[in-house]
Structure formats: C-alpha cells, structure tokens
Amino acid sequence: MLAGWMVTFRMPVVRLVRLLDSPAEVPVMMPMIKREIIYRLLLGQQGGRLRHLAVQDNYTPHITKAVERIRQDFDQPLRIDDLARELGMSVSGLHHSFKAVTAMSRYNSRSSFDFRKPAD
C-alpha cells in the first residue's frame, strides 16, 4: 500500500520539477500540481493528522517552545500550569495541542526525547 501511495505521490512531484524546463507553463500548471500534491498528502497515512493541524488554531510554535523548555530543564520538576501560563495557553489546551503536534502525550515525551546535553 505504501509503495502505491509513493508512486501516485511521486508523479505530481516529478511534474512540478519538470516545470523548471517550461517557465511559461509555471503560472498555470504550478498551482494545480501543488493542489494535487496537497491532496495526495491528505490521502496518505498521516492525512488525518495533517488535516487536524491545518484546521486547528496553529499552536505549533508554542509547542516548539514547550519542547525546548522540557529539553532545557529536563532535570528540573516541571509544572504544567507554569508552562501553560508562559505559553499563554490553558493547561487543557497545552495537553491537546502538544499531543496533536507531537503525536505523544507530555508524559511520553519526557521519556522519548533525547535529553542529553551537547558536549562542551
């Protein structure tokens, strides 16, 4: 199934790249090909998650900051209400958005991230 999806996804990407040889066709063809690529992505295995991220309030930058904070202070106690307040989010909103963006709960993330500090 994955192989079939990759073939159907690859075709519009190849057409998009081939437009480099036909600059006059770009204004007409590129929007249609981009739309097809997005359509194919939405039909893929992560399509549901992609649709969810596209329609919800985009808290990805907030979650990125949360992940950075978790990594930076991994050896310190983490108070979710303080983190949510720093990000301007409610605790439930932080939980929901964190899971939507990372596909894991906050609890799973603390054991899944690579918390090793870079060597000095």
Task: List the chain domain ranges.
Answer: 2-47, 60-112
**Residue whose structure tokens are 């549901």:** 48
Q: How far from chain centre, in Å, is Cα 9?
A: 19
The CATH classification of domain 60-112, taken from the options 2.60.40, 1.10.10, 3.40.50, 1.10.890: 1.10.10
Contact 88/62 with Cβ under 8 angstroms? yes
Question: Which residue intervals of 19-105 are DSSP H helices?
Answer: 26-43, 47-55, 60-72, 80-87, 91-102
In which residue ranges of the chain is pLDDT below 50? 112-120
Report how far residue 100's alpha carbon sits from residue 94's, in angstroms, rounded to the nearest whole number: 10
pLDDT value at position 108?
54
Query: pLDDT tens for residues 31-62?
Result: 999 999 988 888 888 788 777 666 665 677 88
pLDDT value at position 8?
79
**pTM given for the model:** 0.45
